[in-house]
Amino acid sequence: MSKNYTAENIQVLEGLDAVRMRPGMYIGTTGIKGLHHILWELVDNAMDEVANGFGNKINVIIYEDGSASVEDNGRGVPVDIHPTMKISGVEVVYTQLHAGGKFDNSNYTHSGGLHGVGASVTNALSRWMTVNVFKNGTTYQAEFESPEVKGAVKSGLVKTHLFDTKKKTKKTGTFVRFMPDDRVFETIKFNSELITRRLKELAFLNKGAKIVFEDRRVAVGNGHQTVEFCYEGGLKDFVIYLNELKKPVFDNPIFFSGTKDNIAMEVAIQYNDSYTESMFSYVNNIPTPEGGTHETGFKVGLTRVLNDFARKMGILKDKDANLQGDDFREGITAVISVKMQNVQFEGQTKTKLGNTEAKQACEAITLAELPAFLEKNKTVTEIILKKAQLAAKVREATRKQKELTRAKNSIDSFNTVGKLKSCSGKKAELNELFIVEGDSAGGTCTQARNRSFQAILPLRGKPLNAEKKRLDKVLENEEIKTLISALGAGLGEEFNPEDLKYGKVVILSDADQDGYHIRCILLTFFFRYMKELITEGHVYIGMPPLYKISKKNDVRYVYSDEELDKVKEEMGRNCEIQRYKGLGEMNAEQLWSTTLDPQKRKMIKVSIEDVAEAEKMVTVLMGDAVDQRKAYIVEHSNFNKKDAFIDNIK
């Protein structure tokens, strides 16, 4: 290493070189999530054309060679020469960072691609990209490719040729096909299930838009696997879809829309007979699972409108206090879609809207538009108000129960003596809580752990299924009360992640039917009453090994049947195989080495990539939809595999 450090040692990364050198800065990760991110950038560009009224169809194709394409029938990327850069608009869009037509709001009233790096970043992280623009009766074509030398970044992306103006066409729009760079990504295999879910969601959010997805890697008859989405009912169809495994208390969803101060909002609402609130919000087609000012404005407006109607219809008397927002939202399924300019996101994952003007606009639109529906549909209004009135009675009973519990033994400091094996670490963000099933596993884990930062909480019975019970019944369950006390952050509206005693909350259950059930019950409880525990990245699933394979002094632990076959082939004949049925079958040393040691263990970080689909999955697994649950378990019975809602990490 040179001791001299002068100006000539400073490397200047030009164009897209910076993206190839530090892709994580632009797409977050080079894993499966990052791979799909570069596809979403192109899909968002196409959807921006459709959402702004310049097209009505998007085609997404995954090809046999692993490349992908996105095509829209919008206006087409500009092909004329840029006045200052002296290159075509196509070259500007696909080779220059922070370049695009979405900054001054003159070409797009709203946009999902807000950062101006989307298309160029996709180009930067592809081996090659082809762009066809259909405009002015002409087909324009540009081709780009990345350097062949592995890791090379100096030359960025090289344009091989630009524009073939000989092809005449009546089409308009943009077609982009790209091959993800296998030198950048851990995998370049697109997940069709993940793509299908996102495209379906976009179709719901953009009424009448036709979105076609074709996976040419999968043959079906004489063609390929193709799905098409188009919902003329838009958000109304969305809430019906979300409630199809529940029992709606009225058929036709409530729908209203309006615009205030250049902020447009659409809302669809349908109540069901459950006890939980299911609210999904979007800004310019971007999911906001952490909510934000638009949700707050809607909630305030909803509460005010419904309280006014409760008094007008005589359900609340003069002497009665107003009902609370939670009362009106019990059993609600609502989708809120906001379109606006100059969006400001906040929160750890940038999925929470921070614009203060959105609260005022969404509250005003709700106050102005919702009463018209309620006036015309008095039967629906009465159903909502009576359901809220019952919820208020249960809330009051729950409050009294909490007070009684606190008088004896507070829920916030519930007696965990003999249950929780706490750790000595004082920094909560470094501490880990392992939730294990049974005293046997709890004892082994307690012996195996590093007491300085690892705590053990054995469950001595199954927690209550929070999907089927009201909160007052959930709070009667001893295991749930112990868990709430151990975490120390409250629950529901009072849940505060800053009070959390552990940076990691790890569900460590056996790889059998009971273990899977406990895992589902705990995840359901967290999803319903401590959602931020998941969205802020605190929940993990521990991965103890399924097998121990030994041959003389060679001992290996494997975590799946696929890995078992590979290791058996490597070790050859006469190797001994031990199948672990539970944590209790390992001694403390083995458990530390395979499952608890941060340097060696494997864990799954639970995340919510698609809140609407996560909501539906919770209903399938933990609700009353028996047939759908059986079908899902048959298809996804290996719970040691990563599924649609979790990211694999070590």
The confidence score (pLDDT) of residue 6 equals 42
Average pLDDT over residues 560-567: 87
DSSP for residue 321: P
pLDDT band per the 50, 70, 90 thresholds, residue 7: very low
Question: How wide is the angle at C-alpha 572 spanned by C-alphas 566 and 574, nearest 5°?
Answer: 120
Helix (H) or strand (E) holding 207: none
Inform me whether the pLDDT recorded for 649 exceeds 80: no
C-alpha triplet 206, 207, 212: angle, nearest 5°: 70
| In the predicted structure, residue 103 carries a pLDDT above the cut 80 | no
Alpha-carbon distance of 631 to 68, in angstroms, equals 30
> Stretch 463-476: mean pLDDT, rounded?
82
The verdict on 448 and 526 lying in the same domain is yes
Judge whether residue 48 has pLDDT over 60: yes
Q: Are residues 243 and 221 in the same domain?
A: no
What is the residue-averaged pLDDT of the chain?
A: 84
Question: Band of the pLDDT at 451, cuts 50, 70, 90?
Answer: very high
pLDDT of residue 381: 96
The reply to whether 500 falls in a domain is: yes
pLDDT of residue 631: 65
pLDDT > 50? residue 150: no
Q: Identify whether 4 is part of a domain.
A: no
Q: Is residue 298 domain-shared with residue 351, that is, in the same domain?
A: yes
Instruction: Supply 353's token pair.
Output: 């809207």
Write the pLDDT tens digit of every residue in 309-334.
999 999 999 888 999 999 999 999 99
pLDDT at 116 over 60: no
The reply to whether 169 and 81 lie within a common domain is: yes
Buried b (16+ CB within 10 A) or exposed e, 250-276: eeebbbbebebeebbbbbbbbbbebbb
Residues 22 and 66 in one domain: yes
Same domain for 45 and 117: yes
- 48 as an active site residue: the answer is no
Is 9 a domain residue?
A: no
Buried b vs exposed e over 128-145: b needs ≥16 C-beta within 10 Å?
A: bbbbbbbbeebbbbbbbb
Would the pLDDT of 161 be above 60? no
Burial label for 290, CB within 10 Å (0-12, 13-18, 19+), is: buried
510 flagged as catalytic: yes
Residue 633, domain extent? 411-545+582-649
Question: Do 25 and 132 fall into the same domain?
Answer: yes
514 tagged catalytic: yes
- Select which of 214, 295, 437, 613 is catalytic: 437
User: Among residues 229, 246, 277, which one ends one of the domains?
Assistant: 229
Is residue 538 domain-shared with residue 560, that is, in the same domain? no
Q: Are 293 and 358 in contact (CB under 8 A)?
A: yes
Total number of domains in the chain = 4
Spell out a b/e string for 525-557, using b for 16 or more CB atoms within 10 Å of the CB, else e: bbbbbbbbbbbebbbbbbbbbbbbbeeeeeebb
* Phi, psi dihedral angles at 352 (to 5 degrees): -130, 125
Residue 644 confidence class, pLDDT cut points 50, 70, 90 = very low
Round to whole Å and give the CA distance between 327 and 388. 5
Tell me which of 94-98, 368-372, 430-434, 600-604 is least confident: 94-98
Is 551 found in the same domain as 587? Answer: no
Q: Does residue 50 lie within any of the structural domains?
A: yes
Do 571 and 462 belong together in one domain?
no
Using a 10 angstrom Cβ sphere, with 0-12 exposed, 13-18 middle and 19 or more buried, the burial of residue 115 is: middle
Q: What CATH number has the domain bearing residue 307?
A: 3.30.230.10
Give Cα separations from 354 to 265, 294, 527 (angstroms): 16, 9, 23
What's the pLDDT score for residue 267? 98
Phi, psi for 227 (deg, rounded to 5): -125, 145
Domain co-membership, 341 together with 457: no
For residue 2, being part of any structural domain is answered with no
Identify the active-site residue in 201, 330, 432, 510: 510
pTM: 0.77
Write down the pLDDT at residue 101. Answer: 53
User: Could you tell me if residue 6 is inside a domain?
Assistant: no
Mean pLDDT, residues 574-583: 86
pLDDT tens, position by position, 602-640: 898 888 877 777 777 777 777 776 666 666 665 655 544
The amino acid present at 373, given as its one-letter code, is F
Share in percent of the chain as helix, strand, coil (round to 5): 40, 20, 40
Count of alpha carbons within 13 angstroms of residue 491, beta-carbon side: 21
Lowest mean pLDDT among 71-80, 399-408, 458-467, 617-626: 399-408
576 is catalytic: no
Q: Is the pLDDT of residue 589 over 60?
A: yes
Q: Which of 429, 476, 514, 589 is catalytic?
A: 514
Q: Which of 352, 375, 401 is the last residue of a domain?
A: 401
pLDDT of amino acid 542: 92
Active-site annotation holder among 228, 375, 512, 554: 512
Q: Angle at which helices 235-242 and 192-205 pack, to 10 degrees?
A: 130
